[in-house]
Chain A
Amino acid sequence: DQQVKQNSPSLSVQEGRISILNCDYTNSMFDYFLWYKKYPAEGPTFLISISSIKDKNEDGRFTVFLNKSAKHLSLHIVPSQPGDSAVYFCAASAFSTGGGNKLTFGTGTQLKVEL
Chain B
Amino acid sequence: DVKVTQSSRYLVKRTGEKVFLECVQDMDHENMFWYRQDPGLGLRLIYFSYDVKMKEKGDIPEGYSVSREKKERFSLILESASTNQTSMYLCASGGTGGYGYTFGSGTRLTVV
Question: Known interface pairs A89-B42, A105-B35. Does A96 touch B99 (Cβ–Cβ under 8 Å)?
Answer: no
Partner pick for A107 among B9, B42, B90, B104, CB 8 A cutoff: B42
Q: How far is B94's CA from A44's CA once the two chains are assembled, in angstroms? A: 14
Partner pick for A49 among B9, B54, B100, B104, CB 8 A cutoff: B100
Q: Provide the A42-69 mask, 1 if CB < 8 A to any CB of B, else 0.
A: 1111100111000000000000000000
- Count of chain A residues with a beta carbon within 8 Å of a chain B beta carbon: 30
CB of A24 to closest CB in B, whole Å: 13
Q: How far is B52's CA from A6's CA once the two chains are assembled, in angstroms? A: 34
Chain B residues, CB < 8 A from A102:
33, 45, 48, 58, 95
Query: What does DSSP make chain B's interface, helix, strand, loop or mixed?
Result: strand
Q: How far is B33's CA from A98's CA once the two chains are assembled, in angstroms? A: 14
Report yes or no: A98 in contact with B50, Cβ–Cβ below 8 A. Answer: yes
Q: With CB as the reference atom, state the residue of chain A lying closest to B4.
A: A43
Report yes or no: A46 in contact with B100, Cβ–Cβ below 8 A. Answer: yes
Q: With CB as the reference atom, state the residue of chain B lying closest to A100.
A: B50
Report yes or no: A46 in contact with B101, Cβ–Cβ below 8 A. Answer: yes
Q: Provide the B38-67 mask, 1 if CB < 8 A to any CB of A, else 0.
A: 001111110011100010101100000000
Residues of A whose CB lies within 8 Å of any CB of B are 6, 9, 31-32, 34, 36, 41-46, 49-51, 89, 91, 93, 96, 98-108
24 A-B pairs (CB sep. < 8 Å): A6-B42, A9-B40, A41-B9, A41-B106, A41-B108, A42-B106, A43-B92, A43-B103, A43-B106, A44-B43, A46-B101, A91-B100, A93-B98, A93-B100, A100-B54, A100-B95, A101-B95, A102-B33, A102-B58, A102-B95, A103-B101, A105-B43, A107-B41, A108-B42
